[in-house]
């Protein structure tokens, strides 16, 4: 079952409109390679892109924007295919946060046809970190927000869960301690 963070919807359900928009991408060998790379916390690059894709789709649909472009570009926006945690930039090369959107767009164009709108979404999803990559479309602004939101959830929620488990263990130990 495929689902986005915080959602119980099975995104592999063939009857979903979302699935019809991205089914070919979800089965693509290059896209599936993203499962091999960690991204935020315990989240893989593939899962992060699935999260962003689904919520992009939902927001674009809500605001009557191009939901197809939002869903597809969301699934492809981080198709850079390397572990950015261990990647060492060459001398003079900028850090991952500044370069990965361009690397992803290059990989996407080598493997898929993308519209100008989808290319803008992928290339400029790191605004405002990349201050010169000004979003041209409203759909690009959606991914800017959704990408940051999903990244935050993927990073913070597991840490809160670990803290919660630690507190539960302490509480259990305190209840088991002999009374004096």
- What is the domain partition of the chain in residue ranges? 17-176
Q: Is the pTM of this model over 0.85?
A: no
- Crossing angle of helices 96-111/116-123, nearest 10°? 150
Beta strands in the chain (DSSP E): none
Spell out where 17-174 has E strands.
none
Q: Please tell me the distance from the alpha carbon of residue 51 to that of residue 130, in angstroms, as a whole number.
A: 22
Res. 176 pLDDT band, cuts 50 70 90? low
Residue 33 DSSP class: G
**Each residue's pLDDT tens digit, 80-127:** 766 555 666 666 565 545 567 778 889 899 999 999 999 999 999 787
> How far does the chain reach from its first CA to its final CA, in angstroms?
51
Residue 154 pLDDT? 84
Q: Is the peptide bond before 128 cis (omega within 30 degrees of 0)?
A: yes
Query: 27-41, 112-126, 160-174: lowest mean pLDDT where?
Result: 160-174
The CATH class of 17-176 is mainly alpha
Supply the mean pLDDT for the chain. 82
């Amino acid at each position: 079952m495929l689902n986005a963070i915080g959602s119980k919807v099975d995104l592999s359900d063939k009857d979903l409109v979302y699935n019809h928009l991205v089914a070919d991408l979800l089965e693509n060998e290059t896209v599936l390679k993203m499962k091999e790379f960690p991204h935020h916390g315990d989240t893989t690059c593939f899962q992060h892109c699935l999260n962003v894709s689904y919520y992009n789709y939902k927001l674009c649909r809500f605001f009557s924007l191009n939901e197809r472009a939002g869903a597809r570009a969301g699934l492809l926006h981080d198709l850079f295919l390397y572990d950015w945690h261990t990647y060492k930039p060459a001398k003079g090369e900028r850090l991952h946060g500044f370069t990965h959107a361009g690397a992803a767009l290059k990989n996407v164009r080598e493997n898929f046809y993308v519209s100008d709108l989808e290319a803008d979404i992928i290339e400029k999803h790191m605004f405002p970190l990349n201050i010169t990559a000004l979003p041209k479309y409203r759909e690009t602004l959606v991914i800017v927000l959704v990408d940051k939101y999903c990244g935050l959830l993927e990073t913070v929620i597991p840490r809160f869960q670990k803290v919660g488990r630690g507190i539960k263990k302490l509480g259990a130990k305190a209840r088991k301690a002999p009374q004096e």
